[in-house]
Amino acid sequence: MNAALKKKLIEAMADAILAHADELTVLDQAIGDGDHGLNMKRGFEAVLAEADAIAARPLPDALKTIGTTLVMKVGGASGPLYGTLFMALGKELPPEPTIADLARALAAAIEAVKARGKSELGQKTMLDVLGPLQVALAEGGADLASRLPAVANGAAEATMPLKAVRGRASFLGERSIGHMDPGARSSALLATAICNAIGA
């Protein structure tokens, strides 16, 4: 993957998070402590500041650097979890991945996030978007870049009726029902940004 595409992907992810930071904050105000927008903004601003240097590295190293930057800058629960996700993708992906490589790497990265968060699918977290994305990638087929955003956004919406059992939202118990999970929303935003940048 060339440096220009890696830079484009970094900018697309950062732009999406910066453009939707207030929305992520509002979602986290409803069922958490209201910092998810700021946390993610801080993390992706730091990634964006290093975009040229990161994009110059082979994809696996670039992803690992994004992961360590997110761990350092995002904070909260989501920092280590998104950090783990990107670091695991960096560990699993070859420099020029196929769709099959992406499906396999995302499966491994999801396992790493689960281990880090002691969490499972269905607990109203970012995993509830990452899981369906992995399934769609594994199924493959034509036009993935144009189909995956709907998968991701539908999966984020589908966290609304769930009761949170992990993270701060779990403190609310039944009262977490009816709200979209902020981390699920940020995962959908990142996936959509990546697909749009690749498809464009």
Asked whether position 119 contacts ligand ADP by CB under 6 A, the answer is yes
CB of 115 to ligand ADP, least distance (A): 10
If the CB atoms of residues 37 and 60 are measured against ligand ADP, the closer one turns out to be: 37
- Name which of 45, 44, 47, 40 is nearest 23 in CA terms: 40
Asked whether position 42 contacts ligand ADP by CB under 6 A, the answer is no
Asked whether position 168 contacts ligand ADP by CB under 6 A, the answer is yes
Asked whether position 109 contacts ligand ADP by CB under 6 A, the answer is no
Asked whether position 125 contacts ligand ADP by CB under 6 A, the answer is yes
d(CA 115, CA 106): 14
d(CA 21, CA 100): 32
Q: CB under 8 Å to 10, separation ≥6 — which residues?
A: 47, 48, 51, 54, 55, 66
Q: Which tokens go with 57?
A: 């590295």
CB of 90 to Mg ion, least distance (A): 25
Q: Which residues bind ligand ADP (CB under 6 A)?
A: 28, 32-33, 35-36, 39, 76-78, 81, 117-119, 125-127, 166-168, 181-184
